[in-house]
Each structure stands twice: as structure tokens, then as C-alpha cells.
Amino acid sequence: MNSYKYTFVTLLLFSISANVSSASALPQNISELVEASAPAVVNITSKKEIKMRNNLRGFEEFERFFGIPRGYQQQPQQPQTRDAVSYGSGFIFKEGYLLTNFHVVDEADEIIVSLNDRREFSAEVVGIDPLSDLAVLKIKGKNLPTVAIGDSSKLKVGDWVVAIGSPFSFDFSVTAGIVSAKGRSIQNQNIGNYVPFIQTDAAINPGNSGGPLFDLNGKVVGINSQIYSRSGGYQGLAFAIPIDVAMEVADQIIEEGGVSRGYLGVRVGEVDNDMAEALSMDKPYGALINDVEKGESGDEAGLQPGDVIIEFHGKEIKFGTDLPHVVGRIKPQAKANAKVIRDGKTITLKFILGELPVDQRAFIPAKNEISSDPLGLKIEDLSNENAKPSDPENGVLVLRVNNGSPAYGKITTGDILIGIRSKGKPYEFKDAASFESLIESFSSGDKLLIEGRRNATRFFVAVTVQ
């Protein structure tokens, strides 16, 4: 009996001790952090004018069925427009300059910035960088608060972080979590492989995009950018752009008007166990070089297919996706050394970096684009300025594909569309305007077979008109 009581007391004391230990591990200063930092966090409202689709086919069939005289038929309607409004977050980092996500302000005709003290300002876009999903805005006002900028390189997996933003337009909401992973590589519509994302479990939802991620010292260490979700809402996975990357981009935009990145001219892959054994490596790691572009930095340095880069510019390369993260943060024409495994031996190569080619076709302002809302495409004519030698003579160039649209996941930025078929009948178009007109002639639910060219390769995809 005494032994039983002793055991019970011991377990009870252990439970109390564990709870105290767990409670002491929780951050105690979140309310103070929020009070000090929230004034510089902003809510962003983006407005753009979009063309509404006029679909008169059903009405015309109704007229023919009931025999309505042509004199009583409706006159052709002029294209109608309406304002589309989207919401996001951001923060003031210096002298009226704000950082947010590119996708928050993409194609916006008007941007309104709201502060926590209820002041509102009209913002201008200083510059954008779709590859990192960042945009720099500027507002004019007095006594504007600013956030403190931290060092994302010092973050560790398991560190506490706090997000402030406007999820679903609930302004200045606060969530907390921990850093789940670092260096995540995510490729989305307009984001390349040049951002080593911070993964967190802080609850992030639509509207949080562009908002700051703070460490417990009240300093910004990331910019909330994406979520992984099958439902459209938070499911425990959120991704933030490291503030070190964001500030490099912001400084270049403000000082130079654009962003330039280093370039090797290589295609990389991962090293698995079998490859590691075949290459006489102790373990699978590094960036496997699959191909080297002639005349580019990698070729000039003597890099060969089959080489494995394990260190570049002093940074360890554990995965193939690490290499673009490192190279993209180095300025073009800079010198860099790399440790390379070749034929079972480690050698050193010296590089002079080239400049990442930027496909300017993807960054044409919205006013020059033609919207094809039934498919979710932004397109333009092929021309001498935007065509590549491998492009066909006729067709339209895809500038953007809207998330969740009928074409999303089937057609990508840079594709050339050259033909459409529906119900076995081919349809022709000469330019962006005729493509737009043709798409508008179809009804919601119609199935279209679209023919295109991607990197000089022909493809066919089926899409449903919305």
C-alpha cells in the first residue's frame, strides 16, 4: 500500500514538473511584441478593373426557338467591367517604403494601405520581383512607424515565430508557431527556384500574404507568402520568404530599379544512394550536374555533366535545390569558388558568374495585356520583341495563368498557343484580340482542345470554359 502511494505521488510530481517545464517553454512576451510591432504592419487592398464576360448564345437560341422578330432582338452589348478587390498584408521597413508579396498587388489599378491607427494612404509600386514574389511600395505620410529587421540566417528549426496580418480581411490578427523547416524549395506560377522558404506552423490564411513573420525579439525574419492546402485554408504548413533574401531584393529595387541574380548555366539534380555509391561518395548529398550550357559561367569554369557540387561560395550544398538558392543571391560578374566531386576526388573550380536571364515577357504591365477570363489566361501577340528563334510564326504568348483557373496546371507562362478545337471542329486565331474574341464565343462548360508549343515541343491540353 505504501509502495502504491509512493508511486502515485511520484507520477503526480513528475506530471506537475512536466507541465511547469512545458509552460516555461512557451513564449511570454508575445503581447508585448505585438503591441510594439503592430503599428508598422499594414492591411493592403488592391483594386483592379476586369472585363465581365457577355455570353449571349443562350439568349439567341431562346429568341430563335420562340420566333422573336429580329427587330425586337437585343442590340449588341458593349463589354462591361467591374472592380475586383483583393486583400493582403505588408509592413513598413523604412521611410515610407513597404514590402509585400507581388501576387498581392499584381495588376492592381489602385492600392490602398491601411495602418493600425486607422490612417489610409494610396500607395505607388516602386518595383516588383515575381521570381521572389516580392513588391516594394511607397506611401507618403508623417510619423510612419517601421519594423525592426532581423537576421533569418540565425533562425533555428524549433524557434518560436509570430505572424501578424489580415487573414480573410480580419485586420491585424496574430498567430504564433514554430519554425518547422528551413531552405524549402517551392516552384509556383511565377516563383522560381531562388527562394529558400522558411516553413512554419503559424496559422496563415488568405489575406496574410505579404505580412511579417517575427522572432521573439520583435524583429522581422520572414514574409508570409504561401500555404500548402487542399481546402484553401490553413492545414499546418505555411511558407515565408527569409527577410535576408527580401531585403536584398528590396535594396536592389530601390537603388537600381530591378533585380539581377547570378547564373551558372547548369541543370541540376539530386544525388541518391545508388548515385553516391557509383560516384564513390560517402553519402548522397550535393547538386548533381546534369547538363552545362555552352558559353555560360559553368562551362567557362570547366564544370562537366556528372560533377557534384558540394560547396559553393563558402556555403554547403546538401541538395540540388540548394544551389540556385546560393547562386541567385550572388551578384552577376562576381567571383566564386566551388568544391566539386569528380571521379571520386574533390577538386576546386573558380567561377565568374553570369546573369540569370530574365524572360521579360512575363513582366509586361497589366495595361498591355489582354485578359481571357473564361480560361484564366493573360496573353499578348507574338512580336519581334518577345519571340524566340524557336517560337512558331503564328500564335499568342501566355504571360500568366491565374491560380485555380481552367488552364491552371495545364498551360504555363511562356507557352505559345497556336490552335483550338471544339467538338471536332478547328478554330483559327491570328492574334491576341482574335483569340480573346474566339474564347468569348464559347459557352460555359464547353470543352476545348488547345494546341501549343513549349520549349519547341508541341503539346495538347483539354480545358473547360468557365
Three-class SS state of 217: coil
| 439, containing H or E segment | helix 432-440
Q: Which three cell numbers stand for residue 408?
A: 491552371
Neighbours of 378 (CB within 10 A): 23
The one-letter amino acid code at 310 reads: I
Closest listed residue to residue 164, CA positions, set 45, 34, 35, 44: 34
Does the active-site annotation cover 103? yes
User: Catalytic: which of 46, 86, 89, 103?
Assistant: 103
Cα of first residue to Cα of last residue in the chain, in angstroms, is: 75
Task: Give the distance, in angstroms, between the CA of residue 221 and the centroid of all CA atoms in the same chain.
Answer: 18
Neighbours of 443 (CB within 10 A): 11
89 phi/psi in degrees, rounded to 5: -130, 170
Burial class, 32, CB count within 10 angstroms (exposed 0-12 / middle 13-18 / buried 19+): exposed
Cβ density class 313-330: b for 16+ within 10 Å, e for less: bebebebbbbbbbbbbbb
User: Catalytic: which of 209, 371, 372, 405?
Assistant: 209
Does the active-site annotation cover 373? no
Q: From CA 319, how far away is CA 369, in angstroms rounded?
A: 38
Neighbours of 227 (CB within 10 A): 19
User: Catalytic: which of 89, 106, 129, 133?
Assistant: 133
Does the active-site annotation cover 322? no
15 phi/psi in degrees, rounded to 5: -65, -45
Q: Are 146 and 40 in contact (CB under 8 A)?
A: yes
Q: From CA 189, how far away is CA 183, in angstroms rounded?
A: 19
Neighbours of 228 (CB within 10 A): 13
The one-letter amino acid code at 399 reads: L
Rg (CA), the chain: 27
**Residues near 311 by Cβ (< 8 Å), separated by ≥ 6?**
317, 338, 339
Active site residues per annotation: 103, 133, 209
